[in-house]
Amino acid sequence: MEFKQSNRQGFFNRLYVHFFLYAVPQLSAAALVVTLSENSMASLWQSTVLLVGFNLAFALWLLLFNSGTGRVEPFSIVVNHDHLIVTEFGRKRTIERQHVGGCKINSGYPKQIRLCNQNGRDIHFSYYALSSAQKAQLFKALGCDNQ
């Protein structure tokens, strides 16, 4: 069974992850610098526009131009009887099916799903990397009851 991230889901996921991992800390630091310096709000606005603009441009580029034979697979999960393979932008991580120790959902920010590996090498990925229907199917295929 294979679960692939749609372009629309990838766009939403990228904006969500970039907001919590990059925008909030960087804008907080920029706001602190602006309040401690003599510069006005112009510096904060410049930082905001650059940060949001870059993240939005990257997400839009993937949404619009990541297609055809040269398409980069942003996120997918393959579940078969031997392995569980998670691929993010060409980086593959594997758990042997016999070592899958369940799933856990981290409710912090950004929200993540952790596929537990009994060998200690858990795989984490964004909660919004897959649609709700795909997550339900994944949890069912892995026998996870904590949806």
Q: What range defines the domain where residue 40 resides? A: 2-65
| Cβ atoms of 77 and 138 closer than 8 Å | yes
pLDDT at 97: 87
Q: Which helix (H) or strand (E) holds 108?
A: none
| Cβ atoms of 76 and 3 closer than 8 Å | yes
**Are 58 and 80 found together in one domain?**
no
pLDDT at 32: 74
Which range, 14-18, 39-43, 104-108, 124-128, is most confident? 124-128
pLDDT tens track for 61-100: 777 777 777 777 789 999 998 999 999 888 999 999 888 8
| Cβ atoms of 21 and 128 closer than 8 Å | no
In a domain, 39, yes or no: yes
Contacts 24+ apart (CB under 8 A), 37-43: none
Compare 74 and 35 and report the one with higher pLDDT: 74
Q: Does residue 110 have a cis bond before it (omega within 30 degrees)?
A: yes
In a domain, 70, yes or no: no
Distance, in Å, from the CA atom of 38 to the CA atom of 130, rounded to the nearest integer, reads 45
**Are 58 and 87 found together in one domain?**
no
Q: Which of 42, 65, 88 is the last residue of a domain?
A: 65
The SS3 assignment for 94 reads strand
Mean pLDDT estimate for the chain: 82
pLDDT at 37: 67
Distance, in Å, from the CA atom of 53 to the CA atom of 72, rounded to the nearest integer, reads 22
In a domain, 147, yes or no: no
